[in-house]
Chain A
Amino acid sequence: MMQPWLIVTAAFGYLCLLFAVAYWADKRADAGRSVVASPYIYALSIAVYCTAWTFYGSVGRAATSGADFLPIYLGPTLAAVLWWHVLRKMLRISKNNRITSIADFVASRYGKSHLLGGLVTVVAVIVIMPYIALQLKGVSTSFNVLLRYPDIVMPSAVGRQPIFEDTALYVAVLMAVFAMLYGTRHIDVTERHEGMVAAIAFESTVKLIAFLCLGAFVTFVMFGGFDDIFARAAERPDVKHLFTSVGAGGLGGWVTLTLLSMAAILFLPRQFQVSVVENVDERHLEKAAWLFPLYLVAINVFVVPIAVAGLLTFPPGTVDGDMFVLALPISGQQGWLALIAFIGGLSAATGMVIVETIALSTMVCNDLVMPILLRVRALRLTERGDLTRLLLTIRRCSIVFVLFLGYLYFYFIGGSYALVSIGLLSFAAVAQLAPAIIGGMYWKGGNRIGALGGLTAGFLMWVYTLLLPSFVRSGWLPLSFLSDGPWGIALLRPEALFGLEGLDNLSHALFWSMVANVGLYVGLSLATGQTLTERIQATRFVEIFQQPDAGDRARLWRGSASFEDLFSLVARFIGKQRAEQSFAGYAADHGVDLAKLARADAELVHFTERLLAGAIGAASARVMVASVVKGENVSIDEVMKILDEASQVIEYSRQLEEKSRALEAASAELRAANLRLRELDRLKDDFLATVTHELRTPLTSIRSFSEILHDNPNLPTDQRQEFLAIVIKESERLTRLINQVLDLARIEAGRFDWQISAVDVRELVLEAMAATKQLFRERNVTIQADLPPELPPVHADRDRLMQVVINLLSNAVKFSPAGTGLVNVTIRERNYGLEVRVADNGPGISRENQQIIFEKFRQVGDLMTGKPSGSGLGLAISRRIVEHFGGRIWVESEPGHGATFAFIVPFAAPPSAAAP
């Protein structure tokens, strides 16, 4: 027999450790070094989902109905996929509206309705009560089983304990103390409890490790690994059947369980508490969305092996499947391991109970008690001073009340029903919140009456189809109620309502409750209108991502209040110091000086309401603020106008954005165009400067010699002739230059008078050579020509093409060395035209200069030694002429090895004869 003191010490020691963790985390939080601001802690705290029900019940369910335990974990895993959409939206809405419980969430969405908040709270308390009882039962039962160590005695054989010897009572008391200490340390506007979160994360770790230790022991020590267990299970027909067939509920049962647990992970008050209220950073969601499912996988790995091991080890009917977790290490004579398993179960139970009671106490206080107290005028609550103590007292009483109810439930009723069934009952009830919450987040049309109707109908349907049948099974109602229906009306049989048969009772209940719930929610919402507050809240909820401040803009308060009144109002509920901090934060954010503020504007009133909402719930906050604000409320038409305006403004700003994008593009184009224009302008300036420079040079010679001739009438004749010849030559140069500039201008302007015809290039080249013969002779440069006969004509203006060839020839002679110069002229037939090449043996042209010599006034002479005579326009004009004919002109050269200028001009007609 294991000493009771050892178990008690271990359990008590463990709970002390829990207190220590919470204390440490709270101290850290106060010091500003939070330990809970991590996605890992966040994910672990969400694992409060796994309760004693998981720890003991999963194995029990696996032992009685095979893989049926899985959907309970499949649902949350699927839900985790949706977190990014649904939970993130809930988070954002809750932070924006300072929502602190699931009841507050529903109340706030449907016009800050006291009635709805209260209804959700009552439903939650009723359905969570058995769930808490379940945890207490788990602790008490496991304690009693462990106490009989090394015998295995089922608690049902022990009988009821006298109340003061009951472990569950002491555990419940300790949990109440913990919840009061760390759940209601102070009234806070955010309602976050770091100490509690740290303790919960710690518990999640403990229960996981405990379960894994046990699983590993059973699988690898008691048996020879997974293979061994399953091989031996296959030898037993009853065990084999359990795991090779679909569970008791069939496939429909699976779907139902999955859906229920999806709803549970989102809407159970404790899940809302840890995943929404206690969330520090929205981004933690991303990591938690795969960490949490991972946790679920880890804690379920050994469920089936343990269940099978239990079935194989114990004769049928001697040991409850729910107690395999403890019975197996006991049968293996492993006292310590049994103790570890007990601690694991204890931690699973305490975690759930603590969070659930804190969440429920907030709901009971804010959505049930406060609204009632505020309405009872006799208490004159709206006029009393500091209410923080009152609030804390209400919450602490709520905790004791909730735990006490849970304990009573356990003590008087708990023995009657298997663990898992109680849990599933709660799940089905919590799922009734889904239409109002999901609808409220995604459908603006859902209203208060619809939510009230749907929730009430769904809940009543739940009572009728699930709760009453469970009473029948506990023996409190006659069996005929189930088999024949009330008053013998078969159509009303609770588990085959309106003749719907063939479903398991859970699916059946879910079906009817959802039909009633969703039907009334949608139907009533469509049939009735929304009040002003409802519309505002609907927009704030549904469009939280599109226009997070829509509700703010359309705020309800138009009158103003004295800042003094608002401050003292807040201070009464959350304490003077915290109120000061909050308002100071507001002042800093909005750049206002509160000290000078006598009248609070609508925005500050709104801020106050949100501040209070965090402490006492949205509905009560509204009532409290209304009591100090003077001035009428805004009419519905006005608010609708504001809301419409808001969406118009959004549309308008979207259009504006589009327009400004278009404008930006246009202005970029304009900038580019302007840049090009400026570049062109600069080029024009350069061109003018260059032209005048080129004009001045011949003009200088002409003027100088004219004046010399004029001033010296007695010059010798031959000198006079020489000077006159220069004047004539420079005049010619000037004329040529002017003509070229004009040509270029006309070509560029597209006003050149082209005389296009079929031109015989051979004859043209010969003529050009004759025209430049004098130049070659002067510089003593040799010219050679290779001109094949019978060439097809090209498509060109004869005079202009002549101009090009003469230009190339005179350039060639200019750059060829006097005396040894050699110029080669060739014509070649190409695919689409004739290629004329003029090669010299001059200095050549470097690669970088080969492009720019075809630009205006860019003479290579400038860039090399010696300045050649010429305008610098010849090649520029030649290029434009050749390109006008559809050909091209280029130069091939290696510096030091001469240059070859070449151009191609297309044939006059399609060269059918020339084609091979």
Chain B
Amino acid sequence: MRPSVLLVDDEPNIVLSLEFLMKQAGYDVRIARDGDAALQAVAERAPDLILLDVMTPGRDGYEVCQTIRANPAWKDIKIVMLTAKSREVEREKGLALGADDYVTKPFSTRELVNRVRRLLADEHP
């Protein structure tokens, strides 16, 4: 079965580019526009990995990350935080909340895809 990836971002063009990249890498892709939609999508079917924007409307990315990590059933879900904020404290906050990786926008598409691959390869050797 193909690994599934959940994209959480409110910028349509960024979502579009990520969707293209993830599908090209061979993953099953779902999309959520905000934090609540993301949690709903996770509850419906847990993805293998979430690309999670920090600045989502309503519930922000940190909160979503915290909620997922609070549920032991979802402990295997990999989370990669995406953010346009570049301060070191924000990165640390994300990792402290249980994110597996933290990527600053704008990012290198190849680099991002490699990171996602590595994370998913750990889980599906």
User: Do A and B truly interact?
Assistant: yes
A contact set with B: CB distance below 8 Å: 689, 692-694, 696-697, 699-705, 707-708, 711-712, 726, 729-730, 861-862, 865-867
Kindly list chain A residues whose C-beta atoms are within 8 Å of the C-beta of B86. Answer: 692, 696
Known: A696-B105, A697-B11, A730-B13. Is A704-B21 also a contact (CB below 8 A)?
yes
Kindly list chain A residues whose C-beta atoms are within 8 Å of the C-beta of B18. Answer: 704
Alpha-carbon gap, A862 to B11, bound state (A): 13
> B17–A696 contact, CB under 8 A?
no
Q: Does B84 contact A (CB under 8 A)?
A: yes
The segment from B44-52, B64-72, B106-114 that touches chain A is B106-114
Kindly list chain B residues whose C-beta atoms are within 8 Å of the C-beta of A729. Answer: 13
> A726–B16 contact, CB under 8 A?
yes
Kindly list chain B residues whose C-beta atoms are within 8 Å of the C-beta of A707. Answer: 108-110
| CB-based nearest B residue for A705 | B17
> A697–B58 contact, CB under 8 A?
no
> B13–A689 contact, CB under 8 A?
no
> A701–B109 contact, CB under 8 A?
no
Known: A697-B11, A861-B57. Is A708-B109 also a contact (CB below 8 A)?
yes
Can you list 27 A-B contacts (CB < 8 A)? A689-B85, A693-B85, A694-B84, A696-B105, A697-B11, A697-B84, A699-B105, A700-B14, A700-B105, A701-B17, A703-B106, A703-B107, A703-B108, A704-B14, A704-B17, A704-B21, A704-B107, A705-B17, A708-B17, A708-B20, A711-B110, A726-B13, A726-B16, A865-B34, A866-B10, A866-B34, A867-B10
Partner of B57, one of A700, A726, A865: A865
| CB-based nearest B residue for A861 | B57
Kindly list chain A residues whose C-beta atoms are within 8 Å of the C-beta of B2. Answer: none
Closest CB of chain A to B9's CB: distance in Å? 10
Kindly list chain A residues whose C-beta atoms are within 8 Å of the C-beta of B106. Answer: 696, 699-700, 702-704
Kindly list chain B residues whose C-beta atoms are within 8 Å of the C-beta of A701. Answer: 11, 13-14, 17
> B57–A866 contact, CB under 8 A?
yes
Alpha-carbon gap, A709 to B57, bound state (A): 30
Name the residue in B16, B17, B86 with the highest tally of chain A Cβ atoms < 10 Å from its Cβ. B17
What are the 5 tightest A-B residue pairs by CB atom distance, in nearest-first order?
A704-B17, A696-B84, A701-B13, A700-B106, A700-B105
> A697–B21 contact, CB under 8 A?
no
Kindly list chain A residues whose C-beta atoms are within 8 Å of the C-beta of B21. Answer: 704, 708
Q: Does B87 contact A (CB under 8 A)?
A: yes
Kindly list chain A residues whose C-beta atoms are within 8 Å of the C-beta of B110. Answer: 707, 711
Closest CB of chain A to B59's CB: distance in Å? 11
Chain B 35-59 interface mask (CB, 8 Å, partner A; 1/0): 0000000000000000000010110
Kindly list chain B residues whose C-beta atoms are within 8 Å of the C-beta of A703. Answer: 106-109
Closest CB of chain A to B120's CB: distance in Å? 20
Closest CB of chain B to A822's CB: distance in Å? 25
Closest CB of chain A to B35's CB: distance in Å? 11
Alpha-carbon gap, A866 to B109, bound state (A): 26
Alpha-carbon gap, A609 to B58, bound state (A): 86
Alpha-carbon gap, A308 to B123, bound state (A): 126
Partner of B84, one of A700, A702, A861: A700
Alpha-carbon gap, A386 to B19, bound state (A): 114
Alpha-carbon gap, A727 to B106, bound state (A): 14
Name the residue in A689, A694, A729, A862 with the highest tally of chain B Cβ atoms < 10 Å from its Cβ. A689
Partner of B105, one of A697, A726, A867: A697
Alpha-carbon gap, A702 to B16, bound state (A): 12
| CB-based nearest A residue for B104 | A696
Known: A704-B106, A708-B17. 19 other contacts (CB 8 A): A693-B55, A696-B84, A696-B86, A696-B105, A697-B105, A700-B11, A700-B84, A703-B108, A704-B107, A705-B13, A708-B20, A708-B21, A711-B109, A711-B110, A726-B16, A729-B13, A862-B57, A865-B58, A867-B57
Closest CB of chain B to A859's CB: distance in Å? 10
- What is the total number of residues of chain B having a CB less than 8 Å from a CB of chain A? 24
In terms of DSSP, what is the predominant structure of the interface of chain A? helix
Within 77-125 of B, Cβ neighbours of A (below 8 Å) are at: 84-87, 105-110
Closest CB of chain A to B30's CB: distance in Å? 19
Alpha-carbon gap, A717 to B14, bound state (A): 20
Kindly list chain B residues whose C-beta atoms are within 8 Å of the C-beta of A700. Answer: 11, 14, 84, 105-107
Kindly list chain B residues whose C-beta atoms are within 8 Å of the C-beta of A726. Answer: 13, 16
Alpha-carbon gap, A729 to B16, bound state (A): 14
Name the residue in B13, B17, B58 with the highest tally of chain A Cβ atoms < 10 Å from its Cβ. B13
Kindly list chain B residues whose C-beta atoms are within 8 Å of the C-beta of A705. Answer: 13, 17
Alpha-carbon gap, A700 to B103, bound state (A): 12
Kindly list chain B residues whose C-beta atoms are within 8 Å of the C-beta of A697. Answer: 11, 14, 84, 105
Alpha-carbon gap, A730 to B55, bound state (A): 19
Closest CB of chain A to B88's CB: distance in Å? 13
> A693–B84 contact, CB under 8 A?
yes
Kindly list chain A residues whose C-beta atoms are within 8 Å of the C-beta of B84. Answer: 692-694, 696-697, 700
Closest CB of chain B to A356's CB: distance in Å? 89
Alpha-carbon gap, A708 to B20, bound state (A): 8
| CB-based nearest B residue for A695 | B84
Alpha-carbon gap, A702 to B105, bound state (A): 11
Alpha-carbon gap, A689 to B109, bound state (A): 24
Kindly list chain A residues whose C-beta atoms are within 8 Å of the C-beta of B87. Answer: 689
Kindly list chain A residues whose C-beta atoms are within 8 Å of the C-beta of B105. Answer: 696-697, 699-700
Closest CB of chain A to B51's CB: distance in Å? 12
Closest CB of chain B to A872's CB: distance in Å? 12
Kindly list chain B residues whose C-beta atoms are within 8 Å of the C-beta of A704. Answer: 14, 17-18, 21, 106-107, 109
Alpha-carbon gap, A699 to B17, bound state (A): 12
Alpha-carbon gap, A704 to B84, bound state (A): 14
| CB-based nearest A residue for B85 | A693
Kindly list chain B residues whose C-beta atoms are within 8 Å of the C-beta of A699. Answer: 105-106
Kindly list chain B residues whose C-beta atoms are within 8 Å of the C-beta of A867. Answer: 10, 57
Alpha-carbon gap, A707 to B17, bound state (A): 10
Kindly list chain A residues whose C-beta atoms are within 8 Å of the C-beta of B109. Answer: 703-704, 707-708, 711
Closest CB of chain B to A61's CB: distance in Å? 98
Alpha-carbon gap, A696 to B11, bound state (A): 12
Alpha-carbon gap, A696 to B55, bound state (A): 12
Closest CB of chain A to B21's CB: distance in Å? 7
Alpha-carbon gap, A707 to B110, bound state (A): 8
Closest CB of chain A to B98's CB: distance in Å? 23
Closest CB of chain A to B15's CB: distance in Å? 10
Closest CB of chain B to A730's CB: distance in Å? 6
Closest CB of chain B to A687's CB: distance in Å? 14
Kindly list chain B residues whose C-beta atoms are within 8 Å of the C-beta of A712. Answer: 24
Alpha-carbon gap, A708 to B57, bound state (A): 27
Kindly list chain A residues whose C-beta atoms are within 8 Å of the C-beta of B10. Answer: 866-867
Closest CB of chain A to B112's CB: distance in Å? 9
Kindly list chain A residues whose C-beta atoms are within 8 Å of the C-beta of B85. Answer: 689, 693
Alpha-carbon gap, A866 to B57, bound state (A): 6
Alpha-carbon gap, A861 to B106, bound state (A): 23
Kindly list chain A residues whose C-beta atoms are within 8 Å of the C-beta of B11. Answer: 697, 700-701
Alpha-carbon gap, A516 to B11, bound state (A): 109
Alpha-carbon gap, A699 to B11, bound state (A): 12
Alpha-carbon gap, A694 to B11, bound state (A): 12
Kindly list chain B residues whose C-beta atoms are within 8 Å of the C-beta of A861. Answer: 57
Alpha-carbon gap, A726 to B20, bound state (A): 14
Alpha-carbon gap, A19 to B24, bound state (A): 120
Closest CB of chain B to A155's CB: distance in Å? 109
Kindly list chain B residues whose C-beta atoms are within 8 Å of the C-beta of A708. Answer: 17, 20-21, 109
Kindly list chain A residues whose C-beta atoms are within 8 Å of the C-beta of B34. Answer: 865-866
Closest CB of chain A to B10's CB: distance in Å? 5
Kindly list chain A residues whose C-beta atoms are within 8 Å of the C-beta of B108. Answer: 703, 707
| CB-based nearest B residue for A712 | B24
Kindly list chain B residues whose C-beta atoms are within 8 Å of the C-beta of A689. Answer: 85, 87
Alpha-carbon gap, A467 to B111, bound state (A): 125
| CB-based nearest A residue for B13 | A701
Closest CB of chain B to A588's CB: distance in Å? 59
Kindly list chain B residues whose C-beta atoms are within 8 Å of the C-beta of A865. Answer: 34, 57-58
Closest CB of chain B to A277's CB: distance in Å? 77
Name the residue in A700, A701, A726, A865 with the highest tally of chain B Cβ atoms < 10 Å from its Cβ. A700
Alpha-carbon gap, A564 to B107, bound state (A): 93
Kindly list chain B residues whose C-beta atoms are within 8 Å of the C-beta of A693. Answer: 55, 84-85
